[in-house]
């Protein structure tokens, strides 16, 4: 999908392509978009003033009705963990499970299963009291970045926007837009790592990883059995060695035997971190993402 987006908007530099893809990936050629302006101006003067045309891209249209609407807003605005989604959407597990299954069939959502080891190694094993209420659960993601943007930002304010009251939407967008871009950056970082290793030591698994201790943007296992743990930083400053140290500490807490650390940064790395780069520490900056075009 990212490659198709880059082909459609070939005039964008890679950094711009990453930013705009987080909001308009999957829109396709059915609607005219001019991405020469800043993101805020595109949102204000192309999306909001033409809201009905963009609204029509949400298909089937009943996705904007309860209970689908509530569930999709919950997925877009939360951490994606299944039980948290149901709680935010105020649906029970049975109903929520049926809705998720339908939305997966429609290719609106996808389910990322947890890779955390079960708490019990054998059926009659006793577990500690503080863990008895803990449940290993999958995460739910949008397939289409545009739909995540729509249900995370536009749909909750659509009535106000139609009445010309755009300030509540703009204030919320300004405060939370990085969360859209960060997740897409994380997903594309996984794709980049897969490309990087394809001729070296192909990945058997990729994706994020979470357990009862921490969450990790990226955990991959190569064909030779090497474990790669990664962190993705989509922010306006260089990543320093402290980020690597924090990642190592989290890995230790979760008991992950890491062979290679991989850091991905929109704005590069400190000199100290660049000097530390070796076969067990991989650094990827914004230019490296050009391979995904």
pLDDT of residue 51: 96
Question: pTM for this one?
Answer: 0.93
pLDDT of residue 46: 96
Distance, CA of 96 to CA of 78 (rounded, Å):
15
pLDDT of residue 132: 66
What CA–CA distances, in Å, run from 15 to 66, 175, 185, 230, 281? 37, 20, 10, 20, 23
Q: Which domains does the chain have, with CATH numbers?
A: 185-292 (3.40.1350.10)
Distance, CA of 252 to CA of 250 (rounded, Å):
5
Q: What is the mean pLDDT of each run of 10 residues along the chain (293 residues)?
A: 95 96 91 93 96 96 97 97 97 97 98 88 72 85 97 97 96 93 96 97 97 96 98 92 97 97 97 95 97 95
Tokens 């979470």: give the residue.
210
Tokens describing residue 265: 């940064």
Distance, CA of 100 to CA of 110 (rounded, Å):
9
């Amino acid at each position: 999908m990212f490659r198709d987006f880059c082909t459609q908007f070939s005039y964008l530099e890679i950094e711009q392509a990453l930013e705009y893809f987080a909001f308009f990936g999957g829109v396709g050629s059915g609607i005219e978009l001019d991405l020469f302006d800043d993101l805020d101006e595109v949102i204000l003067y192309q999306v909001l003033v033409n809201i009905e045309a963009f609204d029509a891209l949400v298909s089937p249209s009943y996705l904007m009705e309860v209970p689908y609407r509530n569930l999709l807003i919950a997925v877009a605005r939360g951490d994606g963990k299944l039980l948290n989604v149901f709680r935010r959407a105020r649906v029970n597990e049975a109903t929520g499970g049926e809705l998720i299954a339908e939305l997966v069939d429609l290719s609106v959502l996808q389910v990322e299963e947890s890779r955390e080891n079960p708490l019990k190694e054998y059926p009659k094993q006793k577990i500690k009291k503080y863990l008895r209420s803990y449940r290993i659960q999958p995460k739910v993601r949008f397939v289409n970045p545009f739909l995540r943007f729509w249900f995370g930002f536009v749909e909750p304010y659509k009535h106000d926007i139609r009445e010309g009251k755009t300030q509540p939407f703009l204030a919320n967008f300004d405060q939370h837009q990085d969360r859209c871009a960060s997740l897409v950056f994380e997903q594309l970082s996984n794709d980049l790592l897969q490309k990087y290793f394809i001729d070296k030591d192909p990945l058997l698994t990729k994706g994020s990883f979470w357990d009862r201790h921490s969450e990790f943007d990226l955990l991959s296992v190569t064909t030779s059995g090497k474990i790669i743990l990664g962190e993705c930083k989509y922010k306006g400053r260089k990543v320093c060695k402290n980020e690597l140290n924090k990642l190592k500490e989290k890995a230790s807490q979760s008991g992950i035997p890491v062979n290679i650390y991989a850091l991905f940064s929109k704005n590069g790395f400190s000199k100290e971190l660049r000097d530390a780069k070796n076969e067990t520490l991989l650094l990827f900056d914004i230019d490296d993402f050009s391979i995904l075009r």
